[in-house]
Amino acid sequence: MIKKTLAQIKEMANGEKLDSQHENVVIEGVSIDTRTISPGNLYIPIIGETFNGHQFAQAAIENGAVAVLWGIDQPGPPQDVPVLFVKDTLEALQTLAKSYRDSLSIKVIGITGSNGKTTTKDMVASVLSTSMHVQKTEGNFNNHIGLPLTILRLKEDTQVAVLEMGMSAFGEIEFLTLLARPDVAVITNIGESHMMDLGSREGIAKAKLEIVDGLSKEGLLIYHGDEPLLTEQVKGMDIQTTTFGESKRNDFYPLSIKQENEGTYFTINEQENKRFYLPVLGKHNVNNAMAAIAVARRLGLSWDQIEKGLHQIKITNMRLELIEGINGTKLINDAYNASPLSMKAAISLVHDLQTSGKKIVVLGDMLELGDQENEYHEEVGRFIEPDKIEYVFTFGTLGEHIASGAKEHFPQDRVFSFQDKQQLIEQLRNLLSEGDILLVKGSRGMKLEEVVFAFKK
């Protein structure tokens, strides 16, 4: 993590004022959250819509902060620790991160996409860590605050940073990529998430492609080559590209995919005799794996290193996470987020799984889909195959449209729609038995992990 004197921090963050007696004070790491302060940290108070971090400076000091960044227009700066005054604390955080990134001799992998970017990040980091010192975005630290914090946590001996870049509006990826300056950029796919803000899938593709704005001159763009909205726009760009996808026109494509209950096996065109294994559910994750393979080959890893890295991946929680449930059941916790594309992928997974018991899906609202949200939900319901899944449970107002779509071809007594989560859980409790598989998926705001926790062993 960043370790500098306050005099250096002042220069790197475009600071306004610092008492000369504190210039040689050394800070080690930064934090914007008093609950996660470590001794030696620089506390950076952020001002949000409903809070002002300056109000918590004393708590940060008590928890070990050795210095505080302070908005020059904010009253009552601390008197008992060094204070570096800046025009705007958020801008100072971002400027500091950019300066620190520019000082590091490091390869940066930037990853964005409508779905799968966190899983791809985890795969890339796992594969590269077989031969390099790698750090990656932790949790959901992928926005205009999280990405600078991630960069400032990088160690000086780190060789590769794998950085996830999220967005909901135009210009956000551009800002992040210009800050991170990736050597390799990855776009996993284009879905329907954030349709409310971006208006169309064409708009989403345009926003995701902002990632090339920060790409180094010798950099590489790796993208889903079966997506025409990407291939058409990339044609006019003077950049190196590598594609992955299902079709043979891609640089990397699968020759075979076999879904087992414990993971996924696959082979690809570039290494026909090597069978790769992912300890991750879902055939769609083979696309994410091929993106990771493309990154690894760009950085010079061997096929044996890639095979080892894929075999040992650990995916961030609540993303097709297989959990032992009560009474011999299996739970698939995919409650972190949801879009039409990822919903269908998760449902397809359940279609393919083998079990001695029943297969049940609990599906919640998919948020931020814009004017066509009802149609998208109904389409998901129609996608569920009644000869492969016994029961459909939905939760939320939009979830009712999933139920409506399912009822077009399901018997009415196998589709249930709920607005009360506890009632849903009680109905499930009466239904679940040994050998059953239960998929739980919905947008983050639906908090459907509460259903998973109710049946976790």
Q: CA torsion angle for 168, 171, 173, 179 (degrees, to 10)?
A: -140
10 Å CB burial of residue 138 (0-12, 13-18, 19+) is: middle
Least confident of 9-18, 195-204, 229-238, 386-395: 195-204
Confidence at residue 329, expressed as pLDDT on a 0 to 100 scale: 96
Neighbours of 128 (CB within 10 A): 25
Could you give the 3-state DSSP secondary structure of residue 68?
A: strand
Contact present, 220 and 242 (Cβ < 8 Å): yes
Q: What is the DSSP string of 302-359?
A: -HHHHHHHHHT--PPTTSSEEEEBGGG-EEEEE-S---HHHHHHHHHHHHH---SS-E
pLDDT tens digits, 352-390: 999 999 999 999 999 989 889 999 999 999 999 999 999
Residues 6+ apart with CB under 8 A from 43: 30, 31, 32, 34, 37, 57, 60, 61, 65, 67, 68, 69
Position 201 scores a pLDDT of 83
Average pLDDT over residues 312-327: 87
Tens of pLDDT, residue by residue over 136-182, are 999 888 999 999 999 999 999 999 999 999 988 899 999 999 999 99
Structure pTM? 0.84
Nearest-5° Cα angle at 238, 237 to 240 = 105
Q: With cut-offs at 50, 70 and 90, classify the pLDDT of residue 199.
A: low
pLDDT for residue 193 is more than 70: no
Domains of the chain (ranges plus CATH)? 3-96 (3.40.1390.10), 104-311 (3.40.1190.10), 321-455 (3.90.190.20)
Q: For residue 262, name the pLDDT band (cuts at 50, 70, 90).
A: confident
For residue 179, the model assigns a pLDDT of 97
The DSSP H or E segment spanning 425 is: helix 421-429
- Does residue 212 contact residue 180 with C-beta atoms inside 8 Å? no
pLDDT per residue over 423-456, tens digit each?
Answer: 999 999 999 999 999 999 999 999 999 999 999 9
Give how far the C-alpha of residue 427 lies from the chain's centroid of Cα atoms, to the nearest Å: 32
Residue 242 has phi, psi (to 5 degrees) of -135, 140
Sheet of 415-418: strands edge to edge? 321-324, 330-334, 437-441, 359-364, 391-395, 415-418
CB atoms within 10 A of CB 371: 9
Q: In this structure, how many other beta carbons lie within 10 angstroms of the beta carbon of residue 147?
A: 25
- Average pLDDT of 239-261? 96
Strand pairing partners for 219? none
